[in-house]
Homo-oligomer: A and B are copies of this chain.
Amino acid sequence: MPTASGHTKAIRAKKVIGTTVKDPSGKKIGEIEDVVLDKTSNNIMFAAVSFGGLLGMNEKYHPIPWNMLKYEEDESGYVVNITKEQLQAAPADSIAELTRDDGLAYRDRAFDYYRSPRYWE
């Protein structure tokens, strides 16, 4: 999906990391901890997002398909259209677990859970 301004197609990982994640109402619900990349292809596997502000303090990160993060320039961050209830039931784990075994298990679970179109099929 094209970004609002059309000027942010090329985005630096350093700028993505630490960026605020908001819900559609504009409320801050999380932050991007990291972006998981596939070394053997040219693909972004998923973003690892913390939703501690919404779900309470915990050490888990949610794997979120890249295309679910909508960049909003005036919001200075990304908007995701996911409810608190959906996040509470969503796949989440430590970063080490998210990336274990090539990251495929959590990638597949996340894409299935959010019904995101699989970029690899």
Contact = CB atoms under 8 A, between A and B. Distances in A.
Contacts of A2: 40
A35 B36 CA distance: 11
Contacts of A66: 37, 42
- Chain A, interface size: which category? 35 or more
A37 B42 contact: no
A3 interface: yes
A115 interface: no
Interface in A88-118: 95, 98-99, 102-104, 107
A43 B40 contact: no
A11 interface: yes
List of 5 A-B pairs having minimum Cβ-Cβ separation, nearest first: A10-B103, A9-B102, A42-B119, A13-B13, A13-B35
Given A10-B102, A10-B107, A11-B36, 10 more contacts: A10-B38, A10-B45, A10-B98, A11-B38, A12-B35, A12-B48, A12-B95, A13-B17, A42-B44, A42-B119
